[in-house]
Amino acid sequence: MKLADRHRVAFGALARAPLRTAMLLLATAIGVAAVLVLTALGEAARVYIADEFQSLGTDLLVVMPGRTETSGAGAGMMSGATPRDITLDDARALLRSSAIATIAPLVVGESSVSVGSLERDVTIMGTTASYATIRHWTMASGEFLPDVDMDRESPVCVVGSTIGSELFRGEPPVGRWLRVGDRRCRVAGVLARQGISVMVDVDTVVMIPVAMAQSLFNSAGLFRVLIQARSRDVMPAAKRFVLATFRQRHHGEEDVTVITQDAVLQTFDGILGALTLALAGIAAISLLVAGVLIMNVMLVAVSQRTQEIGLLKALGARRSQVLALFLTEALYLALLGALAGVLAGFAGIWLLGNLYPAFTFRPPVWAVLGAVLLSMGCGMLFGILPARRAARLDPVAALARR
């Protein structure tokens, strides 16, 4: 039997049972589309986070209190013992290294902020002028915090664009005064709008000098110290220097954690990569379900077409020919279903992209290829049982079936 004929017969059989064919195509398509959409989601999350961290700069080190064995995001907060505070003096000591270009101490807390009778609870970030340099932040208007000694509590602040226009009812905030807790400060500038960056909504923060934040929250300890190395190459030297400095200042104890962009990125990458895989796995299960469905429907098809199989054998069809015919049918179902699924998947991804333009939705190539191959594999695997059953039918009994 010619290959083209085998395909023609298989296709004819599928075309003549449109409902059955449509159901199977749908099942397979849903599975494949699910793989594409879910992996695209996972990838979007991964790329988004990676971009976020990339925007911080790759020459950045972050010091946080507490010792941890593993490097990575948030790891410092997981250690048990209460670590010694990182003080402003500690931070200042870091500037002695030639590997370090600049540092920015950071204190974070919540406080009420008010202008007249208008009051809001906002995130307060206490830092210095170099923070804007390190984060590459730009201003919508006015200036960032003044470049003065970090001990000084100059009564100035910088507001995020949203909180600025809320508090001042749309009037220009620069030069106006606002209340942070029990303190007053003059607005030096408004941050350019940039949305959520590294989990903080920049548009709704109020930034004040680090010393003011320390007394506002009544704590000498810093939340983080951001360090910009002079170049990527001196990052290891900078890190060694930071650790040595803290060991010396903290009586020989290495009770801080220094994380680099790479480490954070790798951790997130790892977590999100695993997430994408898990999503792909979940979607793959739906493909298996589709495979089982194909098997069941093919088994029904075999029993419905028992007479036809008996006839083919009476006409001289070999077992292998009958087997090939039914396998071709199953393969067709899988292939067409996969194609439909790829189309549907990309349509869904396009839709997601329009709904959430901030994210880049793109299914990884391995997921697309994998989904198509897996569905073909399922088609074959689950097609074999019915096809073998067909091939082994006893022609006399098959023909006698009414």
Beta bridge mates, 304: none
Closest-CA residue to 332 (of 368, 294, 285, 370): 294
Beta bridge mates, 62: 226, 259
Tell me which of 12, 74, 195, 270 binds another protein, using CB under 8 A: 12
Choice between 40 and 387, CB closer to another protein: 387
Structure tokens belonging to residue 89: 């003096």
Output 241-246 pairs: Cβ under 8 A, ≥24 positions apart. 241/94, 241/97, 241/99, 241/100, 242/61, 242/63, 242/94, 242/97, 242/100, 245/90, 245/93, 245/94, 245/96, 245/97, 246/63, 246/86, 246/90
Q: Does 5 interact with another protein (rule: CB under 8 A)?
A: yes
Stretch that binds another protein, among 7-15, 64-72, 165-173, 285-293 (CB under 8 A): 7-15
Q: Does 321 interact with another protein (rule: CB under 8 A)?
A: yes
At its nearest, how many Å lie between another protein and the CB of residue 322? 10
Choice between 2 and 136, CB closer to another protein: 2
Closest-CA residue to 209 (of 160, 158, 161): 158
Buried b / exposed e over 57-84, threshold 16 CB at 10 Å, is bebbbbbbbbbbeebbbebbeeeeeebb
Give the number of residues in contact with another protein, rule: CB under 8 A.
27
Q: Does 317 interact with another protein (rule: CB under 8 A)?
A: yes
Give the whole-angstrom CA distance, residue 239 versus residue 13: 69
Choice between 13 and 156, CB closer to another protein: 13
Stretch that binds another protein, among 10-18, 81-89, 233-241, 293-301 (CB under 8 A): 10-18
Query: Is residue 213 within a helix (H) or strand (E), and if so which, with residue range?
Result: helix 210-216
Give the whole-angstrom CA distance, residue 196 versus residue 221: 26
At its nearest, how many Å lie between another protein and the CB of residue 350? 38
Tell me the per-residue interface mask from 355 to 394 with another protein, x by CB under 8 A, - otherwise: ---------------------------------------x
At its nearest, how many Å lie between another protein and the CB of residue 337? 21
Tell me which of 83, 105, 160, 310 binds another protein, using CB under 8 A: 310
Helix, strand, or coil (residue 217) = coil
Choice between 381 and 399, CB closer to another protein: 399
Reported residue count of the chain is: 402
At its nearest, how many Å lie between another protein and the CB of residue 298? 17
Q: Does 304 interact with another protein (rule: CB under 8 A)?
A: no
Q: Does 9 interact with another protein (rule: CB under 8 A)?
A: yes
Write out the binding residues for another protein, residues 139-178 only, by CB under 8 A. Answer: none
Place of tokens 């009051």: 119
Tell me which of 198, 314, 369, 373 binds another protein, using CB under 8 A: 314
Tell me which of 195, 320, 347, 356 binds another protein, using CB under 8 A: 320
C-alpha separations of 238 from 117, 222, 224, 241 in Å: 47, 19, 16, 5
Beta bridge mates, 180: 113, 183
Stretch that binds another protein, among 9-17, 85-93, 146-154, 180-188 (CB under 8 A): 9-17
At its nearest, how many Å lie between another protein and the CB of residue 387? 16
Q: Does 313 interact with another protein (rule: CB under 8 A)?
A: yes
Give the whole-angstrom CA distance, residue 86 versus residue 64: 8
- Contact between 364 and 38 under an 8 Å Cβ cutoff? The reply is no
Choice between 238 and 323, CB closer to another protein: 323
Q: Which spans of this chain sit near another protein (rule: CB under 8 A)?
A: 1-2, 4-5, 9, 12-13, 16, 307-308, 310-321, 394-396, 399, 402
